[in-house]
């Protein structure tokens, strides 16, 4: 039985406990350490580190030896932090997403991680991933009563959820994440117009279920969580205020004009030119090209003109589930 399920009742009934939640994303690993004291939850530590476990193998359904090495380096650091904050082993949960769940050697990966870091990995399917993302976004943003289209663009998969502040109407995970799209279509840098057209045609084919759901539920805004959307907010704040966005804020509005300003800069430049955009980070400088194309595709295809950004995603959704929020 997955560790997270084993712990739900224990976490909610314990007066004071420390929890460690790890999101093993295809591109980035995230660690969240919190302390629960009665009904109050305090963040003690939060860090994201690149592991790039999808690099070189994601479209071959394998986690390469080099990727496993990078994963272990990050997870050994996380293990040190968990021990430093005295998080009990039974209160630590790690969740494997797209790159891990689709890898033919996922059992070897999980066994190696457990042996070398004492961190058990629970591999979740795309449906559960989408559910956790929704719960995280709902915790960090004001969704309102009208339907919103929530998007989480990972390196391996993209989760689309249509929901409001009280319920999910529809959700689906698609294996069209940034690393996959980059390896399939980004044959030139900058992205060639012909390859961009192939990418949009591919999205037409892959996202038919999304088109049907949008037609049925008519979401009025796009709500982006984590990854690319974090970087787009950083670019927005650097452009408008010459400062980084507030770290204690979890709910942002991204003007659509600002998205398209960033979109134009990102599509026009090569690696070095994108890196020079204020707010850009090395971790996303290449993958953001196909990611903003995906966002543009969704906005144009479905006539959405409002973008909201959530600083919360999967790990906060796991936390919300654990504490019964």
Give the model's confidence band at 305: pLDDT under 50 very low, under 70 low, under 90 confident, else very high. very high
Provide the pLDDT for residue 324.
Answer: 73
- Which CATH architecture group holds 3-124? 2-Layer Sandwich (3.30)
- Tell me how far apart the alpha carbons of residues 224 and 210 are, in angstroms, rounded to a whole number: 15
Give the up-direction half-sphere exposure of residue 300: CA atoms within 13 A in the CB hemisphere: 11
Q: What is the mean pLDDT of residues 98-105?
A: 94
Q: Is pLDDT of 12 > 50?
A: no
Give the residue extent of every domain in the chain. Answer: 3-124, 139-315
Q: Is pLDDT of 236 > 60?
A: yes
Q: Is pLDDT of 117 > 60?
A: yes
- Apex CA 190: angle with CA 70 and CA 271, to 5°? 45
CA distance between the termini of the chain: 22
DSSP 117: H
Provide the pLDDT for residue 325.
Answer: 53
- Tell me how far apart the alpha carbons of residues 237 and 233 are, in angstroms, rounded to a whole number: 6
Q: What is the mean pLDDT of residues 259-274?
A: 97
Nearest to 51 by CA among 31, 27, 21: 27
Question: What percent of the chain stands above pLDDT 70?
Answer: 95
Contact yes or no for 22/76 (Cβ under 8 A): no
Provide the pLDDT for residue 323.
Answer: 80
CATH numeric code, 139-315: 3.30.420.150
Provide the pLDDT for residue 248.
Answer: 87
Q: Is pLDDT of 172 > 90?
A: yes
DSSP 203: H
The tokens describing 173, both together, are 């995970």
pLDDT tens, 177-211?
Answer: 999 999 999 999 999 999 999 999 999 999 999 99
The runs of H, that is alpha helices, within the chain are 3-13, 65-84, 98-101, 106-117, 126-140, 178-185, 193-206, 208-217, 228-241, 256-268, 271-275, 287-302, 314-322
310 three-state secondary structure:
strand
The mean-pLDDT minimum among 16-20, 149-153, 178-182 falls in: 16-20
Instruction: Say if 3-124 and 139-315 have the same CATH topology.
Output: yes
- Tell me how far apart the alpha carbons of residues 212 and 46 are, in angstroms, rounded to a whole number: 37
């Amino acid at each position: 039985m997955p560790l997270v399920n084993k712990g739900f009742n224990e976490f909610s009934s314990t007066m004071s406990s420390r929890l460690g939640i790890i999101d093993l994303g295809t591109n980035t690993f995230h660690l969240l350490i919190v302390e629960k004291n009665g009904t109050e939850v305090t963040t003690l530590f939060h860090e994201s580190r690149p592991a790039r476990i999808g690099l070189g193998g994601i479209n071959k359904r394998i986690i390469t030896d080099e990727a496993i090495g990078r994963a272990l380096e990050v997870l050994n650091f996380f293990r040190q932090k968990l021990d430093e904050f005295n998080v009990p082993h039974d209160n630590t949960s790690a969740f494997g997403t797209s790159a891990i769940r689709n890898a033919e050697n996922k059992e070897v990966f999980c066994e190696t991680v457990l042996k070398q870091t004492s961190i058990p990995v629970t591999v979740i399917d795309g449906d559960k991933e989408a559910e956790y993302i929704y719960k995280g976004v709902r915790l960090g943003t004001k969704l309102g009563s009208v339907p919103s289209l929530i998007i989480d663009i990972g390196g391996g998969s993209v989760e689309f959820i249509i929901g409001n502040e009280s319920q999910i109407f529809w959700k689906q995970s698609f294996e069209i994440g940034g690393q996959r799209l980059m390896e399939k279509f980004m044959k030139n840098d900058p992205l060639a117009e012909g390859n961009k057209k192939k990418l949009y045609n591919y999205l037409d084919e892959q996202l038919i279920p999304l088109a049907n759901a949008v037609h049925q539920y008519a979401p009025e805004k796009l709500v982006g969580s984590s990854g690319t959307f974090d970087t787009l907010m950083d670019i927005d704040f650097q452009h408008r205020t010459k400062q980084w966005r507030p770290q204690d804020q979890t709910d942002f509005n991204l003007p659509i004009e600002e998205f398209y300003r960033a979109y134009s800069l990102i599509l026009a430049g090569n690696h070095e030119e994108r890196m020079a955009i204020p707010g850009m980070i090395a971790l996303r400088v290449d993958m953001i090209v196909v990611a903003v194309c995906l966002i543009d595709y969704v906005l144009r295809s479905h006539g959405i003109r409002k973008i909201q950004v959530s600083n919360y995603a999967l790990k906060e959704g796991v936390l919300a589930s654990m504490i019964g929020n």
